């Protein structure tokens, strides 16, 4: 029987897919690698998009890879190509251009797409935007330059990134969310107040517990938004951050197990041999907390890409990492470490709020499982962050309440 070089297909060229391709090439100079994306760009830094939106970062600083990088490594990057179907019996990936790519191992790394706003008037009006891609950012910037008022809608990370962008560009900005405070699955009312105070300092009007009911348009562009509680909010541009839906639809009809994301074990392999998932779309078995979950952070996606690439090439490494996330939040920082979720019943949490710098407050919340620190969220001063990351990594036990409380003051 003829032996061919191994064929790898990767769906999605975000940080998970591109890192996996790089790892595969390092480990095997002869294999064939097809990296497929519907976007028109090589890998760029999504984490940098908010600063690009604010106008403090140029487009070339957002780009991480170029086409030459792929050519030099003989990685076939197919841009503007949508994968429409996966056939795990025939071991083939099908695209919207009718091409068929056979594989020996497949990586699903195609992330998620933002949920649209489904209210009266939203479909027929221009300038209602999600914020996920570089092209989204370019379109929003063009509209911001001709706008005076803006609405950021939602209680997610993405909604505050847009709110921050609108406020920094001096638009008259309202931030509207359905929940009682921002990030309601992570924070508590105290943490919510800290964030509100920072946003208000930047002139943002923050509205909780209400939702968009209708967009009222004039000549096809938004004039104002009507809310369920009867408010009228002026908005020339509307940014939507209502969470993402993971792109699992292309797996319909396969035996690959899908729950919220694509279910994989700690080796990032699905229940179908030779098929792996990585990054935002992977619902992975996290050895640090002992169950499956998804995680939408850059470090996690990059770490997944590295491990999935190694394992597709024949290795057998578990993914065991403590992903961290840091981002500017108006004029302070927000940092998330490991698993920080108030809606996980098996996690206990403690929090502290205290005066910080620049007239802001610091807020710190720590999450424990069986007396081990598994996650943290810090708003304001990031002092002590590295120590907390090490503690999560080392799985140190903090048996008494006093020991756990002491971590709130760690610098
Ligand atoms: C505005 C913004 C700010 C963020 N800020 C931070 C931050 O500060 N810190 C942090 O840790 N994380 C941040 N994140 C999250 C982080 O960027 C993601 O967790 C990470 O990029 C996920 O990488 P990925 O490779 O899994 O997927 P993605 O980067 O989503 O890449 C998936 C790719 O697959 C493509 N694709 C989807 N379906 C198909 C298909 N059928 N066929 C072909 N291609 C397809 C998509 O278009 C996309 O290009 C931010 C995200 C956004 C949008």
For domain 331-409, is the CATH number 3.40.50.2300?
A: no
The tokens of 360 are what?
């802001």
Rounded mean pLDDT of 45-67? 97
- Residue 246 in contact with ligand 1 by CB distance below 6 A: no
Å from CA of 320 to ligand 1 middle: 21
Q: Are 340 and 384 in contact (CB under 8 A)?
A: no
Rounded mean pLDDT of 288-298? 88
Which residue has 């091409």 as its token pair? 99
Q: Which atom of ligand 1 is nearest to the CA of 81?
A: 43
Which pLDDT score, from 0 to 100, does residue 230 have? Answer: 97
Which pLDDT score, from 0 to 100, does residue 92 have? Answer: 98
Q: Are 209 and 119 in contact (CB under 8 A)?
A: no
- Residue 342 in contact with ligand 1 by CB distance below 6 A: no
Closest CA to 243 of 153, 164, 109: 153
Q: How far is CA 343 from CA 27, 87, 188, 202, 304, in A?
A: 40, 36, 11, 30, 24
323-382 pLDDT, tens per residue?
Answer: 888 888 888 889 999 888 877 788 899 999 999 888 889 999 999 999 999 999 999 988
Rounded mean pLDDT of 312-333? 91
Is 331-409 the same fold as 115-242?
no
For the cut 60, the answer to whether the pLDDT of residue 401 exceeds it is: yes
64-82 pLDDT, tens per residue?
Answer: 999 999 999 999 999 999 9
Instruction: Write the residue with the smallest CA distance to atom 7 of ligand 1.
Output: 47
Which pLDDT score, from 0 to 100, does residue 3 have? Answer: 64
Local structure of residue 3 (DSSP, 8 states): P
Local structure of residue 295 (DSSP, 8 states): -
Distance CA 181, CA 300 (A): 26
Distance CA 6, CA 1 (A): 15
Which pLDDT score, from 0 to 100, does residue 101 have? Answer: 98
Instruction: Write the residue with the smallest CA distance to atom 19 of ligand 1.
Output: 297
Rounded mean pLDDT of 97-121? 97
For the cut 50, the answer to whether the pLDDT of residue 93 exceeds it is: yes
Q: Is 141 helix (H, G, I), strand (E, B) or coil?
A: helix
For the cut 70, the answer to whether the pLDDT of residue 1 exceeds it is: no
Which CATH code fits 115-242? 3.50.50.60
Percentage of residues in the chain with pLDDT exceeding 70? 99
Measured torsion, CA atoms of residues 157, 160, 165, 168, in degrees rounded to the nearest 10 = -140
- Residue 250 in contact with ligand 1 by CB distance below 6 A: yes
**b/e per residue 252-268 (b: at least 16 CB within 10 A):** eebebebeebbbbeebb
Å from CA of 233 to ligand 1 middle: 31
Å from CA of 45 to ligand 1 middle: 9
- Residue 35 in contact with ligand 1 by CB distance below 6 A: no
- Residue 410 in contact with ligand 1 by CB distance below 6 A: no
Class of domain 7-111+247-312: alpha beta
For the cut 70, the answer to whether the pLDDT of residue 2 exceeds it is: no
- Residue 39 in contact with ligand 1 by CB distance below 6 A: yes
Longest dimension (CA), the chain: 72
Surface-to-core class of residue 314, CB atoms within 10 Å of its CB (0-12 exposed, 13-18 middle, 19+ buried): exposed
Angle at 192 between CA 155 and CA 283, to 5 degrees: 50
215-246 pLDDT, tens per residue?
Answer: 999 999 999 999 999 999 999 999 999 999 99
Closest CA to 95 of 107, 79, 109, 111: 79
Distance CA 404, CA 147 (A): 48
Domain positions in the chain: 7-111+247-312, 115-242, 331-409
């Amino acid at each position: 029987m003829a032996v061919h070089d191994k064929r790898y297909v990767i769906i999605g060229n975000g940080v998970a897919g591109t890192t996996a391709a790089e790892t595969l090439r390092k480990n095997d100079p002869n294999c064939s690698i097809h990296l497929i994306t519907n976007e028109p760009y090589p890998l760029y830094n999504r984490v940098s998009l908010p600063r690009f939106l604010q106008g403090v970062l140029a487009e070339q600083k957002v780009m991480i890879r170029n086409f030459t990088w792929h050519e030099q490594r003989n990685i076939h990057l197919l841009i503007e190509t949508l994968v429409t179907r996966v056939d795990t019996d025939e071991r083939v990936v099908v695209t919207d251009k009718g091409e068929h790519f056979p594989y020996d191992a497949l990586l699903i790394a195609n992330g998620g797409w933002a949920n649209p706003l489904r209210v009266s008037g939203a479909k027929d009006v221009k300038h209602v935007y999600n914020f996920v891609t570089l092209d989204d950012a370019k379109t929003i910037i063009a509209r911001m330059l001709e706008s005076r008022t803006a609405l950021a809608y939602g209680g997610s990370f993405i909604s505050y990134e847009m709110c921050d962008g609108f406020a920094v560009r001096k638009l008259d900005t309202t931030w509207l969310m359905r929940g009682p405070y921002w990030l309601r699955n992570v924070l508590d009312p105290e943490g919510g107040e800290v964030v509100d105070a920072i946003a208000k300092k930047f002139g943002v009007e923050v509205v909780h517990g209400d939702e968009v009911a209708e967009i009222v348009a004039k000549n096809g562009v938004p004039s104002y938004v009507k809310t369920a509680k009867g408010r009228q909010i002026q908005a020339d541009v509307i940014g939507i951050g209502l969470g993402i839906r993971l792109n699992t639809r292309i797996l319909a009809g396969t035996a690959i197990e899908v729950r919220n994301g694509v279910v994989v074990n700690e080796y990032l392999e699905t229940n179908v041999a030779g098929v792996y998932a990585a990054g935002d779309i992977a619902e992975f078995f996290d050895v640090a907390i002992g169950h499956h979950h998804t995680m939408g952070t850059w470090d996690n996606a990059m770490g997944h890409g590295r491990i999935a690439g190694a394992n597709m090439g024949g290795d057998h490494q578990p993914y065991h990492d403590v992903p961290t996330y840091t981002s500017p939040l108006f004029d302070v920082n927000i940092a998330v470490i490991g698993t920080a979720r108030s809606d996980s019943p098996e996690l206990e949490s403690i929090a502290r709020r205290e005066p910080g710098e620049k007239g802001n407050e610091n807020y710190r919340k720590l999450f424990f499982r069986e007396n081990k620190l598994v996650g943290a969220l810090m708003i304001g001063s990031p002092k002590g962050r590295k120590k907390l990351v090490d503690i999560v990594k080392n799985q140190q036990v903090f048996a008494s309440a006093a020991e756990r409380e002491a971590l709130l003051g760690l610098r």
